[in-house]
């Protein structure tokens, strides 16, 4: 936040900092423009490869069937989107979407290199205002992206709007540890190791310090579940992974 500006009630979190609501999207874009080229490598290093298991669990929980249409929001380099392709089959469709052009471009390169085409589309879009028709997809996912969205309730409502009745939404996101001794270790790792890794590998400590901070101000498991209920989802539940460091929330459109 510009230190010359006085805080207002409409300010919003950008990590531990409070910024103008209209500035957050630009600031988040700067973070991901900076880390796009090293994003996949940093994910492996930061999570010691566990992010792959968390994404695999999310895909299994989605229960996608052949012929269905899946929208992956904030899809980045396409880990979730790529995993859904064999499930939807040639008659289905996966839409890889991200608001950030650099991340979406990196995702397209990676999916093309993997030989994925035909049942995969790309859309640069803001999760708060999706350019898709109501009831046009069977499943919506967002992996490690909701905490970066400016208006989270609006994004959840949009996820519900584009789902057909009976469709499901899944939110894979960092959350709050549920094992007390784990929290101080996790905090030390987040605020000491992650920025150093970011500086050494991606040449950017500040962006990874922001990512660590953004986890701490993101709604906890019960709060996010309540937000999904308020957005109109039914049968909402969450599944803690890694002792609550990560959680997958699932809800259904009625």
Q: What is the pLDDT of residues 76-89, one digit of tens each?
A: 999 999 999 999 99
Encode pLDDT of 202-241 as tens digits: 899 999 999 999 999 999 999 999 999 999 999 999 999 9
Q: How far apart are CA 100 and CA 125, in angstroms?
A: 8
Encode pLDDT of 153-197 as tens digits: 999 999 999 999 999 999 999 999 999 999 999 999 999 999 999
Average pLDDT, the chain: 93
Would the pLDDT of 3 be above 50? no
Confidence of residue 10 (pLDDT cuts 50, 70, 90): confident
The tokens for 216 are 């701490």
The tokens for 90 are 């040639």
Domains plus CATH for the chain? 35-177+213-253 (3.40.50.150)
Mean pLDDT of 104-122: 95
| pLDDT score of 1 | 37
Closest CA to 28 of 199, 214, 192: 214
Would the pLDDT of 23 be above 60? yes
Closest CA to 96 of 128, 119, 66: 119
pTM for the whole structure: 0.92
Encode pLDDT of 68-77 as tens digits: 999 999 999 9
The tokens for 30 are 């700067």
% of the chain exceeding 90 in pLDDT = 87
Would the pLDDT of 5 be above 90? no
| pLDDT score of 6 | 52
Q: How far apart are CA 34 and CA 223, in angstroms?
A: 31
| SS3 category, 14 | strand
């Amino acid at each position: 936040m510009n230190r010359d500006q006085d805080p207002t009630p409409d300010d919003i979190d950008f990590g531990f900092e409070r910024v103008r609501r209209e500035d957050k999207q630009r600031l988040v874009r700067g973070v991901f423009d900076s880390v796009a080229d090293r994003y996949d490598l940093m994910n492996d290093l930061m999570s010691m490869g566990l992010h792959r298991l968390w994404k695999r669990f999310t895909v299994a929980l989605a229960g996608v069937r052949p012929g269905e249409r899946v929208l992956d929001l904030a899809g980045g380099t396409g880990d979730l989107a790529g995993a859904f392709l064999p499930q939807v089959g040639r008659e289905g469709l996966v839409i890889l979407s991200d608001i950030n052009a650099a991340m979406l471009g990196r995702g397209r390169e990676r999916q093309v290199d993997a030989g994925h085409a035909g049942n995969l589309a790309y859309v640069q879009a803001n999760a708060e205002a999706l350019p898709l028709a109501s009831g046009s997809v069977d499943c919506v996912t967002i992996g490690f992206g909701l905490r970066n969205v400016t208006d989270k309730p609006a994004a959840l409502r949009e996820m519900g709007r584009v789902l057909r009745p009976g469709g499901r939404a899944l939110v894979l996101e960092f959350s709050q540890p549920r094992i007390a001794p784990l929290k101080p270790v996790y905090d030390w790792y987040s605020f000491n190791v992650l920025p150093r890794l970011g500086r050494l590998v991606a040449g950017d400590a500040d962006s990874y310090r922001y990512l660590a901070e953004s986890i701490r101000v993101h709604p906890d498991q019960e709060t996010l579940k309540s937000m999904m209920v308020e957005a109109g989802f039914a049968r909402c539940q969450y599944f803690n992974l890694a002792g609550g460091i990560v959680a997958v929330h699932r809800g259904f459109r009625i």
